[in-house]
Amino acid sequence: MKPIDLDSLGEPLSLSGFSPTDDLAKAETMPASWYTDPRMLELEKERIFYKTWQPIGRVDLVRRPGDFFTCEVVGQPLVISRGLDNKLRAFYNVCMHRAGPVALGQGNRKSLQCKYHGWTYDLQGKLMNAPEFEGVENWEKKEICLAPVLVEEWGPWVFVNLDLNAVPMENTYGPIQSEILSKGFDLSKMSLIERRDYIIDCNWKVYVDNYLEGYHLPIAHPGLFRELDYDQYRVDTFRYYSSQYAPIRPVENGEVRDRRYVRTEAEAEALYYWIFPNVMLNVYLDNTSINIILPIDHEKTLTIFEWYFQQPGTGEGWDSMQQIIAFSDQIQQEDIEICENVQKGLKSNAYNQGRFSVKRENGVHHFQTLVHEFLTR
């Protein structure tokens, strides 16, 4: 990965204006400039997004030998393929000749051929054929390979990490997987039902901040607030992730008609995770949703919502799934409105830094501390 020349971005980018403290009662929030300065995003790409495990597709796209699909990780083009040896591999989707793509879309092939000049690579990334390349000096075909990327399968998803020295996913996701399995949940049996993409006019960190606290529920989400036991809501933080405990409020006499959810044992056992920097995972006995937060630019964010169900059905089962998705969409629209207004506030002359609620915003503090840690390494 080519390092970013910060001097080429104009004025020197200073990170000295933010030095988090572990004492939440004394901590200040991240400065507004960290959300509004386009140079910050370039640094975040290199030091955060290119060095963390990113979900980029579904395992069912590459189940058979020869299956492949293309994708991007914050602007970096990739191709994921299942080799004829049944091993999953990932490469930059960049030919070593003149940087053309070696694959487009998805499909099944025994080799990958550049769409520019026809250089052909096997599914292990080795160059097989370079047409009309005789006479080139100081060049050996056997030494040419596609640039590799780390790849792993987890549940129904494929994850990649652009840092070849990165620790395995187990180091981050292992405790989460163990907890999911201990509850009897099986993510591998979930099938994708629907995906919705939302474009939001805010910095990606604004959206993550918002997800990591329930402090705004009474004001911004009256419908959701009515469903949850707000007094019991909490966020528990760990090294590179946090979990939320948000139990469904018991139904009181005569209240059923006004409630979207009636508390069940399954809902009581639901698991909610955020994994640094940009993945949210909500796990129930019969369904799972994943939210992936991706920066488009320094003040525009793509939020991907995918809903997976264990037994997609018809009739009442289908209606129930659609109700879950519709309620989630309603909450998302409410979050979009507040996040876009927060971005405007961060750009105003009136605001630089704030303080945290000790009771309600430890998850936000945890995230912002990790951002600082990665950017200053």
Q: In the prediction, which pLDDT does 251 show? A: 72
How many H helices and E strands in the chain?
9, 17
The arithmetic mean of pLDDT across residues 150-168, rounded, is: 95
Q: Which residues, listed in sequence order, are joined to residue 83 by a DSSP beta bridge? A: none
The topology (CATH level 3) of 170-375 is Naphthalene 1,2-dioxygenase Alpha Subunit; Chain A, domain 1 (3.90.380)
Q: In the prediction, which pLDDT does 285 show? A: 64
The per-residue pLDDT for range 188-203, each reduced to its tens digit, is: 778 899 999 999 999 9
User: What region does 105 belong to: left with phi over 0, alpha with psi -120 to 50, or beta?
Assistant: left
40 pLDDT higher than 70: yes
Q: How is residue 363 written in tokens?
A: 């998850």
Q: In the prediction, which pLDDT does 257 show? A: 52
CB of 176 closer than 8 Å to CB of 276? no
Confidence of residue 134 (pLDDT cuts 50, 70, 90): very high
Instruction: State the Rg of the chain over Cα.
Output: 23
Percent of the chain residues topping a pLDDT of 70: 90
The arithmetic mean of pLDDT across residues 228-233, rounded, is: 83
Q: In the prediction, which pLDDT does 273 show? A: 95
Locate tokens 């080519």: which residue? 2
12 pLDDT higher than 80: no
The arithmetic mean of pLDDT across residues 77-94, rounded, is: 98
Q: In the prediction, which pLDDT does 206 show? A: 98
The arithmetic mean of pLDDT across residues 253-258, rounded, is: 58
Contacts of 334-341 with C-beta under 8 Å, sequence gap 24+, read: 334/220, 334/221, 335/207, 335/210, 335/211, 335/220, 335/221, 336/198, 336/200, 338/210, 338/216, 338/220, 339/200, 339/202, 339/206, 339/207, 339/210, 340/200, 340/201, 340/202
What's the CA gap between 334 and 278, in Å, rounded?
Answer: 19
Q: How far is CA 48 from CA 161, 277, 337, in A?
A: 11, 7, 27
Q: In the prediction, which pLDDT does 324 show? A: 80
The arithmetic mean of pLDDT across residues 236-242, rounded, is: 95
Q: In the prediction, which pLDDT does 215 show? A: 87
Query: What mean pLDDT, rounded, does the chain reach?
Result: 89
Q: Is 350 exposed, middle or buried (0-12, 13-18, 19+ CB in 10 A)?
A: exposed
What's the CA gap between 240 and 376, in Å, rounded?
Answer: 16
pTM exceeds 0.85 for this model = yes
What's the CA gap between 146 and 127, in Å, rounded?
Answer: 8
Q: In the prediction, which pLDDT does 320 show? A: 76
> Residue 368: which of 1, 14, 17, 11 has the closest Cα?
17
What's the CA gap between 12 and 131, in Å, rounded?
Answer: 46
CB of 363 closer than 8 Å to CB of 235? yes
What's the CA gap between 164 and 92, in Å, rounded?
Answer: 12
Q: Are strands 271-275 and 127-129 parallel, antiparallel or unpaired?
A: unpaired
Q: In the prediction, which pLDDT does 20 show? A: 94
Tell me the DSSP string of 133-154: -TT-SS--GGG-BPPEEEEEEE
Q: In the prediction, which pLDDT does 319 show? A: 77
3 pLDDT higher than 80: no
Residue-range domain boundaries for the chain: 54-161, 170-375
Q: In the prediction, which pLDDT does 249 show? A: 74
The per-residue pLDDT for range 296-340, each reduced to its tens digit, is: 999 999 999 999 887 665 556 677 788 888 888 888 999 999 999
The arithmetic mean of pLDDT across residues 264-288, rounded, is: 79
Percent of the chain residues topping a pLDDT of 90: 67
**How many Cβ atoms sit within 10 Å of the Cβ of residue 268?**
9
Confidence of residue 185 (pLDDT cuts 50, 70, 90): confident
Locate tokens 């060049």: which residue? 139
Superfamily of structural domain 54-161: Rieske [2Fe-2S] iron-sulphur domain (2.102.10.10)
Q: In the prediction, which pLDDT does 316 show? A: 62
What angle do the packed helices 38-47 and 362-375 form, to 10 degrees?
80
242 pLDDT higher than 90: yes
